[in-house]
Amino acid sequence: MRSQTSSDVENPTHTTPLLEADYGYVPSILDATQHQETDQQQPSKPVLLLISGLLAIGLVVALIIGNVRIETHENDVHRLNPIEQGVSEKSFELPVNAPSFSWTNEILGWEAPAFHFSPGKNWMNGPVFYKGWYHLFYQYSPAAPVWGLIAWGHAVSRDMVHWRHLPIAMDTDQWYDVNGVWTGSTTILPNNELVVLYTGSTNESVQVQNLAYPANPSDPLLVNWVKDPTNPVLVPPKWINVKDFRDPTTAWLTPQGKWRMVIGSKINKTGIALLYDTDDFKSYELQDTWLHHVAGTGMWECVDFYPVSKYNFGLDTGDFGPDVKHVLKASMDDDRCDYYAIGNYSPITGKWIPDDPKIDVGIGLRYDYGIYYASKTFYDQNKKRRILWSWIKETDSENSDIKKGWASLMAVPRTVALDPVTGSNLLQWPIEELDKLRSNLNEFNEVKLEPGSLVPLHVGPTSQSDIMVEFELDKKFTNSLRVGAGVPYNCAGHGGAGVRDALGPFGLLVLANKNLTEYTPTYFHIAKDAHGHLNTFFCIDQSRSSIAKDVDKSIYGSTVPVLEGEKLSMRVLVDHSIVEGYAQGGRSCITSRVYPTQVIKGGAQLFLFNNATNLTATASLKIWKMGLTSKNDSGWVWLGPSLILVVVFFFVVWTWQNQRTNRP
């Protein structure tokens, strides 16, 4: 089946060149001046020194201005309606008539994360490793901290912990992406060249796919990008709504030698993953069979598709074999959660079949049971692992975001792999590079938690912490518990950590103030179902996280597999307004945004608690302080290189003047 191409869509600005001069590298200043007359009058030394001095002063002033927080006012904000553009609502919906808290600049400033990536200002949402650098391309609203005209922000890192913000990679400057440069993916070709496919929203809000590539492939920072003059290279099939065709995946090679990629869509309420083959990333053939579909799940955004294996920690996108499974993931536009399923893929038929249809994409497992959306993996060929990134939205008021000048961030990058023990779920874990931020280790061994106990852990301020805890349970209580009630337990519907049952809840209180008027419980709860089987739940309770009313107070969580002989374990990363929890080595994960008002100025404390009525638990902990002291900066990372350029300029002037003086 032949797909539509750009020739099927009217180009309303076909007389305008698609490639502007500033997309490519211009000749160097030396090349530009080689043909000037050598006997042209030279500027005097005072003039050159004056110019150099002004250059240095201007550079320092620009760096300072780039790092001064400029407050955005609500009247200055330009918004776009995501629903009208065909995507999900991006702002958090607060309860009706929720009273507004008096947020001060001091409290809002405390919310900024230290070791999570966030924009220098305003709003954000395909990663790749290239020539020694990790590149993060992300959905960025340059104008204001609300969803608007989305461009591609760009940052680079050697370790995915310390980041340098670079200029915007791609902006909304063509008719085919004038309403947004949306999600895309990078593909590394066999010759180590790199291409990008991304979704653009046209001047008529039609979702089309576009091709881009580095202007200078030898540049490891990939600062400048070229949009292909044949864009758009792919438009929606006639039987697909023009606003339901987006987010191309990384491509892989088929046995026939073609490149294959997936695009998410829907027909009525059935979510679908369309398959396209191409030889050159410009002409595409829609395959007769869909990769997969699930009725009733709605629009599939940000589809991801990759191989995993019990015997290999990380596999490249095109790897296949008898021991290889494939993960299909989709972000559900209807409920804004990321679901995945594990199954088998046939490169011959192009079909993927889940191992267990009862937990298919959209109705079963999730990457994260908190606030976690629009995720994307990439294969890190540097360390032979697969890395997962995800956008974490704000869950306070939009007015607060405008006042503080930025909104949303990224979860810490996670390794993702097939669980070698269960074979039926993924394991997610913070990348090992984050461990280098640890300092000031405090250990607590075999802390006994009687029913109803609350134990303070005196470790100093804990607003930036990495916490590892294991619980051993008294088995005589779990074995003697009567068969559970007819109503099954769930984290959100059971009242949170304050409701006491026989076998839970028990865990940690993080970001707690000394009077316990604010705290965020991260905990386990064990319940027997109607058949007498024990189920372990992992939960984060935001209902008591803040005295403010204009923030999310949801309770998140789900069951987590616990095998015979395993201790209950969790890891919790606390970074100001974001809390990430990992249970049983990453079998279940929860990301939470919280907005306390009473723990700033070093007031964040940590407690162990046990609200179970019939269970004694013993806890052992390791607690580290996490080392970064401020969020990612955009300007100061250029200070060193820029000052070096100034010194070089002065040296050139000095050398030239000496040569001129010594002339016979």
Q: Is residue 297 part of a domain?
A: yes
pLDDT, average across residues 582-595: 98
- 245-272 pLDDT tens trace: 999 999 999 999 999 999 999 999 999 9
Report the alpha-carbon distance of residue 252 to residue 262 in Å, rounded: 10
* pLDDT value at residue 6: 41
Domain that holds residue 410: 121-430
Q: Is residue 199 part of a domain?
A: yes
Co-location of 171 and 293 in the same domain: yes
Query: What are the backbone angles phi and psi of residue 496, rounded to the nearest 5°?
Result: 85, -165
Q: Is residue 563 part of a domain?
A: yes
Is the peptide bond prior to 505 cis by the omega test (within 30 degrees of 0)? Answer: yes
- Written as six digits, the tokens of 411 are 């979860």
From the CB of residue 432, how many other CB atoms can be counted at a distance below 10 Å? 11
Please identify, among 430, 452, 469, the residue that sits at the C-terminal boundary of a domain: 430
- Written as six digits, the tokens of 278 are 């191409």
Co-location of 387 and 447 in the same domain: no
Q: Is residue 281 part of a domain?
A: yes
With a cut of 80, say whether residue 657 has pLDDT above it.
no
Please identify, among 430, 462, 487, the residue that sits at the C-terminal boundary of a domain: 430
Under a CB-based contact definition with an 8 Å cutoff, are residues 180 and 150 in contact? yes
- 353-399 pLDDT tens trace: 999 999 999 999 999 999 999 999 999 999 999 999 999 999 999 88
With a cut of 80, say whether residue 641 has pLDDT above it.
no
Co-location of 281 and 170 in the same domain: yes
User: CA separation (Å) from 380 to 134, 146, 223, 607?
Assistant: 9, 31, 20, 37
Q: Is residue 47 part of a domain?
A: no
* pLDDT value at residue 39: 40
Under a CB-based contact definition with an 8 Å cutoff, are residues 430 and 581 in contact? no
Q: Is residue 135 part of a domain?
A: yes
From the CB of residue 163, how many other CB atoms can be counted at a distance below 10 Å? 21
Please identify, among 369, 404, 430, the residue that sits at the C-terminal boundary of a domain: 430
User: Looking at per-residue confidence, does 239 or 20 come out higher?
Assistant: 239
Under a CB-based contact definition with an 8 Å cutoff, are residues 579 and 520 in contact? yes
Co-location of 477 and 394 in the same domain: no
Type and span of the H or E element at 63: helix 45-67
pLDDT, average across residues 173-178: 97
- pTM for the complete prediction? 0.83
Q: Tell me the CATH number at 260.
A: 2.115.10.20
Co-location of 314 and 410 in the same domain: yes
Q: Is residue 290 part of a domain?
A: yes
- The band of 481, judged by pLDDT with boundaries at 50, 70 and 90, is low
Burial class (CB in 10 A: 0-12, 13-18, 19+), 20: exposed
Q: Tell me the CATH number at 561.
A: 2.60.120.560
Co-location of 480 and 517 in the same domain: yes
Co-location of 415 and 447 in the same domain: no
Co-location of 480 and 577 in the same domain: yes
Burial class (CB in 10 A: 0-12, 13-18, 19+), 525: buried
Co-location of 231 and 355 in the same domain: yes
* pLDDT value at residue 10: 34
Q: Which residues contact 339 (CB under 8 A, 6 or more apart)?
A: 329, 330, 332, 361, 362, 363, 364, 365, 366, 367
Report the alpha-carbon distance of residue 124 to residue 145 in Å, rounded: 8
Question: Which residues, in sequence order, are bridge partners of residue 124?
Answer: 140
Co-location of 132 and 177 in the same domain: yes
Type and span of the H or E element at 181: strand 181-188
Q: Is residue 71 part of a domain?
A: no
Co-location of 376 and 450 in the same domain: no
Under a CB-based contact definition with an 8 Å cutoff, are residues 110 and 513 in contact? no
Report the alpha-carbon distance of residue 341 to residue 425 in Å, rounded: 8
Co-location of 420 and 444 in the same domain: no
* pLDDT value at residue 119: 79
* pLDDT value at residue 654: 64
Domain count, the chain: 2
